Amino acid sequence: MANSRSTKSTKPQKQSTLAVYLYIPNIIGYIRILLNCVGFAICFQDKILFSLLYLVSFVCDALDGWFARKFNQVSTFGAVLDMVTDRISTACLLLILSQVYRPGLIFISLLALDIGSHWLQMYSTFLLGKSSHKDVKDSNSWLFRAYYRNRMFMGYCCASCEVLYIMLFLLAKNQIESLPLVLGNAVQQSWVKAGILGLAGFGWGIKQLVNVIQIKTAADVCVLYDINKKQ
Please give the positions annotated as active site.
86
Q: Can you give 23-55 as a three-state secondary structure string?
A: CHHHHHHHHHHHHHHHHHHCCCCCHHHHHHHHH
List CB contacts of 117: < 8 A, sequence separation 6 or more. 211, 212, 214, 215, 218
Cα–Cα distance list, 17 to 14, 25, 27, 195 (Å): 9, 15, 14, 47
Report the alpha-carbon distance of residue 186 to residue 205 in Å, rounded. Answer: 19
Q: Can you give 132-195 as a three-state secondary structure string?
A: CCCCCCCCCCHHHHHHHHCHHHHHHHHHHHHHHHHHHHHHCCCCCEEHHHHHHHHHHHCHHHHH
Burial of 29 (0-12, 13-18, 19+ CB in 10 A): buried
